Chain A
């Protein structure tokens, strides 16, 4: 069965490209436009991995991350943070708060796909 990936970002151009890219690589792709929506969708979809942007309307990516990590049902979900802030502080913060990986924008699509694969295989290995 294909892995489920939830893309959480409010930038349409990135969502379009990511959606296409992930679909091309054989994943089931879902999209949320903000943090609130992501939290609503996750229990329903039960994604294997979330591509989570930091700067989101309503709830920040960090908040979503912390809430997911607190809940036993969502604790195991792999999370890759996306940031456009361009500050390493964000990466340090994200990793400390429990993100599995961190990708800063602009990213190479190839590298991102690699990262997704790598992260999911870690999950399978467990």
Chain B
């Protein structure tokens, strides 16, 4: 760094040089007016060419150098002050640099410094007040979480785009599988469609808005952990508004369903056995009474038959009693559905089918007890299967059969082979991505339904299902709309964030992204250096969510140089037995899903990710670089390293150079940068990428 004295001397030096240069030039011009001057000059130049060339360069160079210095000294500090004043304008403590020795500039600098100290004081006060306010807010939040966590059922709240806003412990236990391969992460800001079947989720959301009842829509699906879950979906409001969202109640019904299956199998079989035995006893007893003259041998046979069958019944009754309690609690209620509603459900489901069976209007409005998910899927599956097997489009008809509702697929053409039809009932029905995770025969059993196939003389085939008819629903004037129950004290800002199909249009202050950092064996990815650690945290709706962290060590499969251990403190012992980069990056790709990525000096980390990922499709999302964004804001400031920026923005630094700590710092830095970028007109991801690109080119040109 130049001393203050030399800075003061420089203007004097410039004056001296200009004066001397002027006198010399004047003398030279005088000399040119003498007669022989041209010839003498030519001979001097010819004989001393190098010396003359040197002198010429000197006369050109010295003023150029002096002008450069002048710009550095006079303009450089002015540029820094300009940045400093921008910082001040943006409510940031400015950096004015060292004294320049130029009184005017130094006065401005010291003024800025005073202003910045004042600002820092005020900012600290503001921070304290903010902290108090957020403590209040978080205590209210805790109350809500405590209430929600008391629910035995899993609860997930999403916005209208199925992005998760809130979930309770029970939902976490049922649906989060970070140990699985691939892992499934339930977390704020994530897409529920990545955790439960996407098509089921979107179907249920649409259907729940369409239906006016207060039961919502339910479906059954298998979770990543291979459990059976019944999910009930309710819209927060029936009018689609910006703040509308959905409640997903999740119940684990794995055990419930198996006891239910057992129970209904038992009920069917038990009753059949009892009826058989009673039939034997009754007819034997009646025979004895009606034909008293029968020969004694035959009479004896009837008596024995009665005894045997009575014992059988006693056994069945005991067995039945033992299972009774279990069954009492496993009775999952079917809901009352009219054929009109059922046809509506079917029409909505068949949208994606290639061969769409014909579903007109029911011939008559009848009521039945049905599951609004499994029954329509099962019926439509049959219709679809008929269409595929016969090449004819079947039509759905309804009918009444003393106490039963008949739903028949009718078509003209070939009958279905019994074996084929039976195989459909043993399959797990699926329709355009909506799948029931157990066989159709179980759906039938659950609904106490029976089926058959028949061909009439005219060659009209039917495959019919009958279900017990239910009494008509009492007519109410208009279905009551659910009351608006908005939790006013929870941060539901995400409700208003429509996850635009075009990620680039997402605002930085409402971004949901993954911030990450890596530690490596060295700085040369193509020269054999490898990843040894990766840390990440998610930013949800513009705020870091400390509940969603990723922190993994990686076995690099090579030595870790002591020089690099000195930086990050990771030794070879620490990574021994840890998974390799391919596995960890695979898990990481599930953690960050489609989120935009954020990193400091991202190009470095991305290079390692690109070289070591198992799947070339991973990590192709947009990447924001906090280093570049910082240079966008303050192109004239020199330091943009994480340390310098942490200091500049007054951020707390933990154990630095640990991937997770650096990540937390980067996330905090990003949050600080966003309002500053906004004041520069950089609002969306697209804006930030464009500005970063321009700033990068600007730096490269230097």
Contacts and interface: CB of A to CB of B under 8 A. Distances in A.
B470 to A, nearest CB: 14
Given A16-B301, A106-B275, A93 B280 contact: no
Interface stretch (B94-102, B114-122, B444-452, B637-645): B444-452
Given A11-B276, A85-B271, A86-B272, A109 B452 contact: no
Contacts of B286: 108-110
Interface SS of A by simple majority: helix
A105 B301 contact: no
Nearest to A104: B275
B287 A20 contact: yes
Nearest to B273: A84
A90 B450 contact: yes
B195 interface: no
A20 B402 CA distance: 34
A29 to B, nearest CB: 14
Contact of B450 (A86, A93, A112): A93
Contacts of B282: 106-109
Nearest to A10: B276
Interface residues of A, number: 32
A97 interface: yes
Closest 7 CB pairs of A and B: A13-B280, A89-B450, A17-B283, A105-B279, A84-B275, A106-B278, A106-B279
Contact of A18 (B278, B283, B290, B454): B283
A126 interface: no
19 contacts: A11-B280, A13-B284, A14-B280, A16-B301, A16-B302, A17-B287, A20-B291, A24-B287, A84-B275, A84-B276, A89-B404, A92-B403, A92-B404, A92-B450, A93-B466, A104-B275, A105-B275, A107-B282, A109-B282
Interface string B266-296: 0010011101111111111011001100100
A55 B308 CA distance: 21
B277 A87 contact: no
Interface in B447-503: 448-452, 454, 464, 466, 468
Given A13-B309, A85-B268, A93 B290 contact: no
B305 A16 contact: yes
A112 B466 CA distance: 27
Given A88-B404, A92-B404, A14 B279 contact: yes
A63 interface: yes
A38 B505 CA distance: 74
A89 B448 contact: yes
A33 B496 CA distance: 70
Contacts of A88: 402-404
Given A14-B279, A107-B283, A109-B283, 17 more contacts: A13-B305, A13-B308, A16-B280, A24-B291, A62-B452, A85-B268, A85-B272, A88-B403, A88-B404, A89-B404, A90-B450, A97-B454, A106-B275, A107-B279, A109-B290, A110-B286, A112-B283
B278 A105 contact: yes
A49 B652 CA distance: 94
Nearest to A13: B280
Contacts, number: 107
B390 to A, nearest CB: 18
Interface of A: 11, 13-14, 16-18, 20-21, 24, 55, 62-63, 66, 84-90, 92-93, 96-97, 104-110, 112
Given A13-B308, A14-B276, A84-B279, A109 B287 contact: yes
B276 A92 contact: no
A84 B286 CA distance: 19
B234 to A, nearest CB: 33
A113 B232 CA distance: 53
B272 A92 contact: no
A21 B401 contact: no
Contacts of B454: 66, 96-97
A18 B464 CA distance: 33
Contacts of B272: 55, 84-86
B655 interface: no
Contacts of A16: 280, 284, 301-302, 305
Contacts of B305: 13, 16-17
Nearest to A112: B283
> Which one of A63, A86, A90, A112 has the highest number of Cβ atoms from chain B below 10 Å of its Cβ?
A86
Contacts of A55: 272
A14 B283 contact: yes
Contacts of A89: 404, 448-450, 466, 468
Nearest to B291: A24
Contacts of A96: 401, 452, 454, 464
B700 interface: no
